[in-house]
Homo-oligomer: A and B are copies of this chain.
Amino acid sequence: MRESYREELDDINHCLVELTNSVGSAMSTATTALLDADVALADLVIAGDAHIDAVRVSVDERCFTLLARQQPVATDLRAITTAMATVQDLERMGDLAQHIAKVARMRFPEPAVPQEVRPVFLEAGHVAESLVAKTGRVIAKRDVDAAMELEAEDDLMDKLHQQLFRELLSDDWPHGIESAIDITLLGRYYERFADHAVSVARRVVYLVTGERPIALAPSS
């Protein structure tokens, strides 16, 4: 029984890594849908969110069953409660990718992102991709160094977010209020996506080191 318990714990972790990949792929596709005004890609992300939600429910149930049947203690118990919190962040990251796809869909056939801020969203997309890849490494290998790198990339995302506001507030923003609303929300979605990645990483750092980082929840 212990053997299969360990296998189940490993398999749950494997599911989390796969879910991270799904979320990363949703975010990359959403960014492309946004920048290319590609409604087919946007629909793919929107439809794909149900799968992410289903995996989340499944991981949650499996963790609960492990807790109920095996009554783990110490590090194993912490690993399971960490997995339960992590899957919540990952599902939310999937929601945010979906929100981005929905903005692309809403403005189709027009692009939701005007030329002036295109480079910022292109860069935000790259940062998001890199963040997700590191999140996967943090979960798979309990890699504390990758967790630290991830924090640095979150700072970069915050800078991109600030840059968006500067563009919007420059004297020659010619795209009006509706576009400003879109850009404000889109910037927020990318920023929150990064925050949730940080949250996952911090929880794994706590699991590995026993030291609780200053904030465990996404705080912005």
**Interface of A with B (CB < 8 Å)?**
53, 56-57, 64, 67-68, 71, 73-74, 77-78, 81, 84-85, 88, 91-92, 95, 99, 165, 168-169, 173, 177-178, 180-181, 184-185, 188, 212, 215-220
Identify whether the interface residues of A are mostly helix, strand, loop, or mixed: helix
A64 CA to B203 CA in the complex, in Å? 14
The closest CB in chain B to the CB of A214 belongs to: B53
Known contacts A77-B64, A84-B84; is-contact A53 B215 (Cβ 8 Å): yes
By a CB distance below 8 angstroms, the chain B residues around A71 are 71, 73
By a CB distance below 8 angstroms, the chain B residues around A217 are 53, 56, 88, 91-92, 95
Q: Pick from B74, B88, B216, B220: contact of A68, CB below 8 A.
A: B74
CB-based contact A78/B64 at 8 Å: yes
A160 CA to B199 CA in the complex, in Å? 30
By a CB distance below 8 angstroms, the chain B residues around A91 are 217
CB-based contact A67/B81 at 8 Å: yes
A217 CA to B73 CA in the complex, in Å? 27
Q: Pick from B56, B88, B169, B188: contact of A178, CB below 8 A.
A: B169
